[in-house]
A and B are shown apart, each in its own frame.
Chain A
Amino acid sequence: EAGVTQSPTHLIKTRGQQATLRCSPISGHTSVYWYQQALGLGLQFLLWYDEGEERNRGNFPPRFSGRQFPNYSSELNVNALELEDSALYLCASRGTPTQETQYFGPGTRLLVL
C-alpha cells in the first residue's frame, strides 16, 4: 500500500511569489493535515481537511490556505511568500473517523529567497 506522497520534494521561490504544495493521502484516508516545520523546530499545525471541508486551522495568517479535492488529495497555497516561510511542509493523512493515528509524507522543502 502506497504511503502519503507529496510534491514537489523541493521548491525554491522568491519573496512575494506564491507556492503550491500538493499531497496525496493513503488510499481510503479522508483526512489530510498540513504542518510547517522550520529548521530545527517542532511541528506547527497549519490546516486540517476532512471530507473536503476545512475542519481546523492553526495560528497562521490568511495567506496560508488550502483545499481538499473530491479524491481527498490536498493542496496548500502560500501567497506573498516571506523569507520566514522557508521550512519543511509536512502532510499527514488519517483514516476512519475513529482512527487517531496520522501517517506522514516525506515533506516539501520550501526555500524562499
Chain B
Amino acid sequence: LAKTTQPISMDSYEGQEVNITCSHNNIATNDYITWYQQFPSQGPRFIIQGYKTKVTNEVASLFIPADRKSSTLSLPRVSLSDTAVYYCLVGSHAGNNRKLIWGLGTSLAVNP
C-alpha cells in the first residue's frame, strides 16, 4: 500500500526559503501530489498540486523528480504567518484505484 513520509517538524526564520520533502516510493501512475496548509482549528487549505517536473504558483513551488518517488514543497521567503502544518497528499480519483494517502504533516515554525 502506498505511503507518504514527511518530516514531523521544521524550524525556519523569516525571509528564508523553506523546502519540505515528502517521500512516496509506491506512487501509482495516475497519482497526483498535492500539498495543503493547515492552521490550528481550521480546515486544510490547498497550496499546490503537480504530477511531474515543476509547478509554480503565487505562493509556492513544487518539485517532482522524474521517478516521482518524492516531491519537495518550496516556500520562498517565509513569514511568521506561514507557521502551520503542511500535509502531503498522494492519490488519484481516477479509475478503480481511488486511494488518497495523506502524510502525517510537517509542523513548520517560522521564527522572527
Classify chain B's interface size.
20 to 34
Expressed in whole angstroms, the Cα–Cα distance for A106 and B45 within the complex equals 10
- Given known A42-B105, A101-B34, A102-B46, contact A88–B87 (CB-CB < 8 A): no
Total number of A residues with any Cβ neighbor in B under 8 Å: 25
* 8 A Cβ contacts from B29-69 to A: 32, 34, 36, 41-46, 49
- B102–A90 touching, CB < 8 Å: no
28 A–B contact pairs at CB < 8 A? A31-B93, A42-B87, A42-B102, A42-B104, A43-B44, A43-B102, A45-B100, A45-B102, A48-B98, A55-B98, A56-B98, A90-B44, A91-B43, A97-B94, A98-B94, A100-B49, A101-B49, A102-B34, A102-B46, A104-B36, A104-B44, A104-B45, A105-B43, A106-B42, A106-B43, A107-B41, A107-B42, A107-B43
Task: List residues of A whose CB falls within 8 A of some B CB.
Answer: 4, 31, 41-43, 45, 48, 55-56, 88, 90-92, 94, 97-98, 100-107, 109
Given A100-B49, A101-B49, 15 more contacts at CB 8 Å?
A41-B104, A42-B87, A42-B103, A43-B44, A45-B100, A55-B98, A91-B43, A92-B43, A92-B44, A97-B93, A98-B94, A100-B34, A101-B34, A104-B43, A104-B44
* Those 7 A-B pairs whose CB atoms lie nearest each other, nearest first: A104-B43, A42-B104, A100-B32, A104-B44, A42-B105, A43-B102, A90-B43
Inside 8 A of B44's CB, which chain A residues have their CB? 43, 90, 92, 104
- Choose among A43, A45, A94 the residue that contacts B87 (Cβ–Cβ < 8 A): A43
